[in-house]
Amino acid sequence: MQLYNKLSAKERETLLEQAGEERLTLSFYQYAKIGNPHLFRNHLFIAWHEQDVLGRIYVAHEGINAQLSVPAKRFMEFKEFLDGIYFLKDVRLNIAIEQDLKSFLKLKVKVRDKIVADGLNDETFDVTNKGIHVDAMKFNELIEDPNVVLVDMRNHYESEIGHFKNAVTPDVDTFRDSLDIIEADLKDHKEDKKLVMYCTGGIRCEKASAYYKHKGFKNVFQLEGGIIEYARQVENLGLENKFLGKNFVFDHRRGERITDVVISHCHQCGEACDTHTNCANEACHLLFIQCEKCAVAMENCCSEECIEIIHLPYEEQKRLRQGIPNSNKIFKKGRSEKLKFKRPPSPQRGN
């Protein structure tokens, strides 16, 4: 039985273009106790390969986190399959605001230690003892309360292009970095302040809300469904949209526009821009913000050095990517001394 991809991303892209069928980009998560993640992973892969589902899915003993592209005509079949799994019955599906035929080009189901890496090793921590979920209407009310501290639980490159007004946006590279920083900053307000959190689709806030309750915070709230569901609700209910800019997403699109305001700038020239790209040099692959003008001038690269590399013979480019020291430099998120209009990495991050 096939339990892995046989097609390359390019081959899959060609097939999707030829088929021309509508697909839905969506995501969901669920914290649950999974006894055998490897067996569950294989069960998912077999079913979703048959349904022509593509995406990135993480499975662990603590649950599942999935971002998917599903054929629109097979959505009900996909939904019925989920409902047949006891802890996924009627799970909330965050359907993307903007759809893209090629948001995902492979089906990857991976077993991880945790579905959200948190760096925690505390057996007394119960991730299911979560905070209070609030919808868009209640969220809008809460964040106007002067007794509320609103915290963005995402990373710096996400909040840079979009966040709620008046939100605390920690300058962190990973979710695990933010947990201790936020607790330290708010340690004197565990009882007298309301802690309200949000993230992309809710999964990080779910764990964070349980963590802060575990740490003694008395009034913990999270935006249910994250920014994705918030955008849908404010549009459907005619509510005031308090989000500024784009919502960063972890697929081929890299972002969904929530409001028209552009709050960030090109990392190379400083002009207003909120379009993320990856450096064309695969030995770099730096994620950064680049405007159309700079994309042309810099050949989709982050630096003159990377431009020189992409013009080398392919085998030489492959050689430059070999070895752990080189591979560890790949996939950095918007921190580089090469970017004139982006703060370089701080020493303690070791980037």
pLDDT, position 111: 95
Enumerate the domain spans of the chain: 9-111, 276-349
Whether residue 102 contacts residue 91, with contact meaning beta carbons closer than 8 Å, is answered with no
Catalytic residue among 199, 279, 291, 306: 199
- Cβ-based burial of 268 (10 A; exposed 0-12, middle 13-18, buried ≥19): buried
Whether residue 339 contacts residue 276, with contact meaning beta carbons closer than 8 Å, is answered with no
Q: Is 302 a catalytic residue?
A: no
Q: What b/e readout covers 144-176, taking b as 16+ CB neighbours within 10 angstroms?
A: eeeebbbbbbbbbbbbbbbbbeebbbbebbebe
Query: From CA 51, how far away is CA 188, in angstroms rounded?
Result: 51
105 vs 15, higher pLDDT: 105
Q: Which of 88-102, 145-159, 161-175, 241-255 has the lowest mean pLDDT?
A: 88-102
Amino acid at 42: N
**Neighbouring C-beta atoms of residue 67, cutoff 10 Å:** 24
Render pLDDT for 175-193 as a digit per residue (tens, 0 to 9): 888 998 999 999 999 999 9
Considering the chain, what percentage of its residues have pLDDT values greater than 70?
91
251 vs 298, higher pLDDT: 298
pLDDT, position 253: 82
Q: Which of 53-57, 74-78, 82-86, 319-323 has the lowest mean pLDDT?
A: 319-323
pLDDT, position 103: 81
Amino acid at 241: N
Query: From CA 17, how far away is CA 51, in angstroms rounded?
Result: 18
The residue to which tokens 């294989």 are assigned: 42
- Band (283; pLDDT cuts 50, 70, 90): confident
Residue 4 has pLDDT above 70, yes or no: no
pLDDT, position 345: 46
**Neighbouring C-beta atoms of residue 4, cutoff 10 Å:** 10
- Band (327; pLDDT cuts 50, 70, 90): very low
Question: CB under 8 Å to 95, separation ≥6 — which residues?
Answer: 24, 25, 26, 228, 232
- Band (343; pLDDT cuts 50, 70, 90): low
pLDDT, position 328: 46
Per-residue 3-state assignment (H helix, E strand, C coil) for 85-118: CHHHCCCCCEECCCCCCCCCCCEEEEECCCCCCC
Render pLDDT for 300-311 as a digit per residue (tens, 0 to 9): 999 999 999 999
Q: Which fold has domain 9-111?
A: Alpha-Beta Plaits (3.30.70)
